[in-house]
Structure 1
Amino acid sequence: MIDISQHFEFILGSYLVTCALVGALVILVNRDYHVQEKRLADLEAKGLRRRSEENKK
């Protein structure tokens, strides 16, 4: 059986790096979502509409 104590620092470091990267991606995607929603609201306020709304009528 593998002695886990020899590899503990590597395993812990790998998990920490992975968690940090996933957390950063979640934050970036969430921030971008809000930016895109604001841009879309600004465009709609200017009178621009989505092409897909024409097909709904």
Structure 2
Amino acid sequence: MIPDLGKYSDAVLSAYAVSLLLLMLLVIVSWRRAGKVKKDLEEIEGKGQSDG
């Protein structure tokens, strides 16, 4: 099932590994950033409601 990559197997597999690592890092950073923005927005909305 796995294709024969010949002499380029190391380069191809390492490129896949680096790509997956970068994608996972991007998802984690985005997820953390979204949480921070949501928290900040809830604080701002809470201040606006209490000011009247």
TM-score, scaled to structure 1 = 0.74
Partners of 2:40 and 2:25 lie apart in 1 by 23
Match of 1:18 in 2: 19
* Runs of 4+ residues over 2 Å off in structure 1: none
Higher relative contact order (CA 8 A, sep 6+): 2
Q: Percent identity?
A: 30
Q: Show structure 1 runs of 5+ residues with no match.
A: 49-57
Partner of 1:51: none
Structure 2-normalised TM-score? 0.81
Greater helix percent: which structure? 2
Count of matched residue pairs: 46
**Offset from partner CA, 1:4-53 (integer Å, 9 cap, x none):** 220000000000000000000000011100000000000011116xxxxx
Within a 5 Å distance, the mapping from 1:15-54 to structure 2 comes to: 15-47=16-48
